[in-house]
Amino acid sequence: MAKTTHFGYKEVDVEKKQGLVKGVFDSVAGKYDLMNDVMSMGTHRLWKNYTISSSNVKEGDHVLDIAGGTGDLAIKFRKKVGPEGKVILSDINGSMLLEGRKNLLNHGVIDVDFVQANAESLPFEDNTFDCVSIAFGLRNVTHKDAALKQMHRVLKKGGTLLILEFSKVENKTLEKIYDLYSFNLIPKFGEFFANDEDSYQYLAESIRKHPDQETLKNMVLDAGFEFCEYHNLTGGIVALHKAIKA
Amino acid sequence: MFRLTIEKSLNHLINANNIDLTHIDNKIVSFRVDEIDLTLFFLCLNSRIFVIDNQQNKKVDVSVTLSKASFLAIFKGASLEELVENEEIEINGSVNTAQQLANLLSSSSIDIEELISQYAGDIVAHQIGQAFRQIKKASVGNDGSIINTIKDEITTALIAPSRSKIFKGRA
């Protein structure tokens, strides 16, 4: 019997998930930034700023932004690493990379490298990066354990991993409001703004299937990181896991 | 946010002045301030400092236990050796390593008093919240009257003050 995994609330063959996720992001790529602003009411920018603040990145550093999509983090990292540093924006999805390239050009950022790569098999040498980030991408990865091990592998000793991802809301009342919002309004926003209700239904479902804060922390530690802690943002709607390779 | 602020300030200082950290590389130094229930773990790796919570209980190379006043004094440049001689702090491990970190802390532009007041404020808020939850929980078990439960709680508090009140009395 074929192994299965979740795709939102649906159980699908493991081999099929990657293609299905690709379909979602091919569909939403053009409206990705607009939808992020609409869905989070702009808050995603604060979450990303907090991530950058926590990164400990300095001039001359090498940074890999996985599932970097439209390049929000890459633009900010680029400023921090200075002319001696290096930023690579990677994404498994070609459409998202294309949007990222456009977005960076619009911001006047030209010195970022683009690599189309699967997080489960990163095409980089061991101990290459001072910081690896993945924002709102890990929940779409089929084999998260494998991806986390790869992130550990490509980080230098003393390198930092940052995972910004939707998580488990701490407060029960907020959780109810959030459920109502994400299952009723988000798909409707998707239909209205991007003419795509199904993709945004998947996004809402995939958030609920993603490991909670403690589970993800243990997965990160199991991948080989010596230190990992998380910070809940907006009541746990989003959590930032910060891990260090020692 | 408390740890992040310290971490950012230290790393800004290190980068701006190109400070060499090889002497404390790969070491964990902890500062424990009992009065405000604060422990900071400083990990030095990859030419930068991480201020962590060390939930993973990794072995600490140097641990410093001190009062709030001594902690503040370190940020104003107090010598650890002098503080040890005056029995104001306790150090397990290399005093030299701890002093290197203390030098960084004192050279930084961290407004530690402001940070601590915010941190202590959080603790007070937490204690108030906890007391309220206890009252709410206890009232369900009693006759259901919150007023009676509050009276009981006040009586208990007067008879057996909490740890924070004892500390306040000593200061």
Contact by Cβ (8 Å): B9, B89: no
Longest dimension (CA), chain A: 52
CA-nearest residue to A230 within chain B is B53
CA distance B52 to chain A (A): 8
What is the distance between the alpha carbons of residues B43 and B39, in angstroms, rounded to a whole number?
13
Tell me the CA distances in angstroms from A187 to A10, A39, A151, A174, one per residue in order. Answer: 16, 10, 32, 19
| CB within 8 Å: A227 and B47 | no
Average pLDDT over residues B87-112: 91
Q: Indicate if the pLDDT at residue B166 is higher than 50.
A: no
In sign, the C-alpha dihedral spanning A153, A158, A160, A161 is positive
A16 vs B: CB within 8 A: no
Contact by Cβ (8 Å): B65, B89: yes
- Give the pairing type, strands B48-52 and B62-66: unpaired
Length of chain A in terms of residues written: 246
Cα–Cα nearest to A244, from A121, A162, A126, A150: A162
Range of lowest pLDDT (A1-5, A169-173, A230-234, B49-53): A1-5
Burial class (CB in 10 A: 0-12, 13-18, 19+), B40: buried
Burial class (CB in 10 A: 0-12, 13-18, 19+), B151: exposed
Q: What are phi and psi of A130, to 5 degrees?
A: -85, -25
B4 vs A: CB within 8 A: yes
Nearest CB partner across the interface for A58, out of B11, B55, B58: B11
Nearest CB partner across the interface for A58, out of B15, B53, B54: B15
Average pLDDT, chain B: 80
A171 vs B: CB within 8 A: no
Structural domains in chain A, sorted by start:
4-244 (3.40.50.150)
Q: What is residue A67's predicted lDDT score, i.e. its pLDDT?
A: 94
Which chain A residues have a beta carbon less than 8 Å from that of B15?
Answer: 58-59
What burial letters (b/e) apply to A118-156, b meaning 16+ CB within 10 Å? bbbebebeeebbbbbbbbbbbbbbbbbeebbbbbbbbbb
B103 vs A: CB within 8 A: no
Nearest CB partner across the interface for B53, out of A54, A229, A246: A229
| Mutation for testing the B interface, residue in A58, A161, A245 having most B CBs under 10 Å | A58
**B18-32 tens-digit pLDDT:** 999 999 999 999 999
**A57-74 tens-digit pLDDT:** 999 999 999 999 889 999
A159 vs B: CB within 8 A: yes
Q: Could you identify the residue written with the tokens 């964990």?
A: B28
Average pLDDT over residues B74-102: 91
Average pLDDT, chain A: 90
Vertex B80 angle, CA B76 and B86, to 5°: 105
CA-nearest residue to B49 within chain A is A56
Vertex B44 angle, CA B123 and A80, to 5°: 90
B41 sits in which H/E element: strand B38-45
CA atoms within 13 A on the CB side of B33: 16
Q: Indicate if the pLDDT at residue B158 is higher than 90.
A: no
Tell me the CA distances in angstroms from B95 to A53, B50, B61, B98, B114, one per residue in order. Answer: 31, 20, 11, 5, 27
Q: Indicate if the pLDDT at residue B164 is higher than 60.
A: no
Tell me the CA distances in angstroms from B13 to A26, A58, B8, B100, B115, one per residue in order. Answer: 44, 12, 9, 14, 18
CA distance A221 to chain B (A): 9
> In the structure encoding, which two tokens stand for residue A133, read together?
């980030």
B50 vs A: CB within 8 A: yes
Q: What is residue B44's predicted lDDT score, i.e. its pLDDT?
A: 95
Contact by Cβ (8 Å): A161, A225: yes
A158 vs B: CB within 8 A: yes
Q: When comparing pLDDT for B55 and A168, which is higher?
A: A168
Q: What is residue B128's predicted lDDT score, i.e. its pLDDT?
A: 56
**A153-185 tens-digit pLDDT:** 999 999 999 999 999 998 889 989 988 888 888
Tell me the CA distances in angstroms from A27 to A30, A95, A190, B21, one per residue in order. Answer: 8, 9, 11, 49
| Mutation for testing the A interface, residue in B21, B45, B60 having most A CBs under 10 Å | B45
| CB within 8 Å: B45 and A54 | no
CA distance B44 to chain A (A): 8
B26 vs A: CB within 8 A: yes
B3 three-class SS: helix
B151 vs A: CB within 8 A: no
Nearest CB partner across the interface for B58, out of A58, A226, A229: A226
